Amino acid sequence: MRNIRTAFLVLVLCNLTSGATAQVLPSEPIIIGDGRAVIGGDVAASIAPIDTGYFNFSDYDHTTLREIRLGLTASVRATDHIAILGELRSENFERVTPFALYARIHPWRERRLDVQIGRIPPTFGAFTRNAYGHDNPLIGYPLAYQYLTSVRPDSAPANVDELLRMRGRGWRSSFGIGNRTPDRGLPLVTAFSWDTGIQVTTGWRAVDVTAAVTNGSASNPRVRDDNDGKQFATRVKVIPATGLVIGTSFARGQYANRQLIDAEPGTADRFVQHAYGIDLEYSRNHWIGRADAVLSQWDVPAVASPLLDVPLRALALRVEGRYTIFPGAYAAARAEHLAFNHVRGTSRVDEWEAPVSRLEVGGGYYLQRNVVARVSVQMNWRDGGRVRRLALPAAQLLFWF
């Protein structure tokens, strides 16, 4: 059924855009009340073969390569200093979720200071705020922001052997403590939901500094605080020269939910995630290059032997580039690797999760200024799990206004 819906949407969009440069579809946002309210939107329809290795799943039911995503964004200028911003998203015509809803306060017109309160954009990293729409040059998401590890917010391994049994099964892991029902694990930093709290951004010349206090963690953002712990996140962005952006990020927060904390009383402040990130973007002429490194560390209390006596660390490295071949057409490539630290079990010492490498190569053609047809081929390698190698061709049609 999902495939039929996708094919239908692709056909509709293709038909609407068959005039190539005719600008059949609207390209400007909807403006109400002399610019007081502005509404924008995105539609992305992606098709690909079945991902039997669950390399691209954002949860057990959804893969980022086979979905229709609808997004509606809006900003309402309440006063000269206060704006309300929000975004609604829906995947595969299922339920509509409020992805973002917050107030942006800009106290002084001449000063670079903003306070955002509500369900706010992620402070950590650069990709999390660019994930949707045309900022992503390829169809797939970077591993650091999408690939599901076996770490769960509601369940924890009692010992190392239990942890090692879940290698390569982050899309449906289960452990002995807390919720024993198999369910999805956590990515290093999620691009699929935003956290709730307060965020302050200021800047001076080429430097921007952001700090936030929120309810969840980088891998598990929350609308409501269910673990009595707050996340602190900060980001410093420097633009030393036009076209060069260097960013560093840090986040520390409790990732376990109430169910897991209740299962192991007194451990609330021991299920902590630390995340460190550095990102780089350089663009010039027809080139854009990006690179980032994300190090995540989940602390898991040791319960039974063989004891889990080290934090679970994961390091994601990414480099990607985009080149405009001729007006309206570009090529892009992304290479990534996800590595994990070793833990000592009863019979073996191994990485606690199966390392993953991914290479995605593709390109896009603009049917009109705001309609892009993309194709890509993604190669995945994993040192563990049921499927260890998988090549996935994919196609996507993306429209925004």
Smallest separation, CB 126 to other proteins (Å): 11
**Which residues contact other proteins by CB under 8 A?**
20-21, 23, 28-29, 31, 34-35, 38-40, 73-75, 83, 85-87, 100, 104, 106, 112-114, 116, 121, 123, 129-130, 132, 199, 201, 203, 208, 210, 235, 242-243, 283-286, 288, 324, 326-328, 366, 368-370, 400-401
Closest CB to other proteins among residues 86, 321: 86
Quick one: 34 or 309, whose CB is closer to other proteins?
A: 34
The DSSP code sequence of 335-371 is: EEEEEE-EEE-SS-EEESS--EEEEEEEEEEEEETTE
What's 200's DSSP letter? E
For residue 112, the Cα-to-chain-centroid distance in whole angstroms is: 27
Residue with Cβ nearer other proteins (38 or 261): 38
d(CA 269, CA 124): 21
Number of Cβ within 10 Å of residue 196's Cβ equals: 20
Query: CA-based angle 87:90:96, to the nearest 5?
Result: 75
CA–CA gap between residue 337 and residue 134 (Å, rounded): 23
Length of the chain in terms of residues written: 401
Q: Name the residue nearer to other proteins (CB basis): 24 or 359.
A: 24
- Report the C-alpha gap between 24 and 26 in whole angstroms: 7
By beta-carbon proximity to other proteins, the closer residue of 86 and 182 is 86
Decide whether 121 or 311 has the Cβ nearer to other proteins. Answer: 121
- Whose Cβ is closer to other proteins: residue 284's or residue 386's? 284
Torsion-angle region of 362 (φ positive above 0: left; ψ -120 to 50: alpha; else: beta): beta
Rounded to a whole number of angstroms, the minimum distance from the CB of residue 73 to other proteins is: 4
Instruction: Give Cα 304 to chain centroid, integer Å.
Output: 33
Contact in structure between 30 and 385 (CB atoms under 8 Å) = no
CB of 400 to other proteins, least distance (A): 8
Q: To the nearest whole angstrom, how small is the minimum distance from the Cβ of residue 83 to other proteins?
A: 8
Following CA atoms 61, 63, 66, 69 in sequence, which dihedral angle do they give, to the nearest 10 degrees? 90
Least Cβ distance, residue 40 to other proteins (angstroms): 4
Tokens 């917050």, located at residue: 102
CB 62 within 8 A of CB 46: no
Q: Residue 58 or residue 174: which is nearer to other proteins going by CB?
A: 58
Nearer to other proteins, 114 or 183 (CB): 114
3-state DSSP assignment of residue 295: strand
Q: How far is the CB of 16 from other proteins (least distance, A)?
A: 16
Closest approach of Cβ 307 to other proteins, in Å? 41
- Say how far apart CA 325 and CA 365 lie, in whole Å: 10
User: SS3 for 4?
Assistant: helix
Residue with tokens 């053609």: 365
Nearest distance from C-beta of residue 11 to other proteins, angstroms: 22
Task: Compute the least distance from the CB of residue 192 to other proteins, in Å.
Answer: 13
Residue pair 201/113 in contact (Cβ under 8 Å)? The answer is yes
